[in-house]
Amino acid sequence: MDNAGAGFEAAIGPKPSNWGATDFQNPVVRAYAFTRIAEVELPEALAYLQNLRKSDIGPDPTGGIWSAAQVALHQATFSRIADPSQQIHYLEDTAAHWWGQVGRWAVDQLCNGGHSESLEIVRKTIHRIEVNPRADGEVAFCEARIDVLSRNQDRVQALASVLSVANGSKDTKWRDSAIRAKIWWAGPYPS
């Protein structure tokens, strides 16, 4: 990782030897940096994440920074897959074989994408990662998101319907998830 080409750090992010710099002492900042690197559409960004080792990121007492780096790697890989059916296959495979935040990321992508054909994998993954009764609630929330997207071809209208329903409810999960995910209105409606 330290023999990255000139301009690499400016284009992608800091060399692992710089993770100890003052700006990167905060674990939240370090985790967020990986999220942003995943959004860079340069081949060097993906290579950076692929070549990153746990020992490169410095102190990570909770494991959250390494988890963020792994999610970023999967996000960057996913975003480079052009074929929608291959994207779904990638998400299903990731959900089926990864634990923790990476598995949760893949499940969220499938749920927020409205992929009802993936529900069995989603259910199994959630029950593997979460403890009941939380798992049952997460499965129900995924099914509800898929249902909302299947009833409305316009993501903005789907978001509006969720927010108007959530507005009268004490359960803020719908509203918070819809706003945080942003994918309710990003990208084409899934087929």
pLDDT digits (tens, 9 = 90+) for 71-106: 999 999 999 999 999 999 999 999 999 989 999 999
What is the pLDDT at residue 99?
A: 85
- Do 24 and 44 meet the contact criterion of CB atoms below 8 Å apart? no
Give the separation between CA 149 and CA 4, rounded to whole angstroms.
43
Is residue 24 included in any domain, yes or no? yes
83 belongs to a structural domain: no
Asked whether residue 109 falls in the same domain as residue 168, the answer is yes
Domain that holds residue 40: 8-78
Q: Which tokens in the block code for residue 162? A: 């969720």
Query: Is 119 in the same domain as 72?
Result: no
Q: What is the pTM of this model?
A: 0.76
Domain tally for the chain?
Answer: 2
Give CA–CA dist 119/112, Å, rounded. 12
pLDDT at 22: 61
DSSP 1: -
Rounded mean pLDDT, 37-57: 93
Cα angle at 182 between 49 and 10, to 5 degrees? 35
Indicate the pLDDT class of residue 180, thresholds 50, 70 and 90: low
- Please indicate, yes or no, whether residues 61 and 104 belong to a single structural domain of this protein: no
Q: What are the CA-CA distances from residue 61 to residues 35, 57, 66, 67, 85 (Å)?
A: 19, 11, 10, 12, 38
Q: What would the mean pLDDT of 133-158 be, rounded to a whole number?
A: 83
**pLDDT tens digits along 20-37:** 556 667 888 888 989 999
Helix then strand then coil, in percent of the chain rounded to 5, is 70, 0, 30
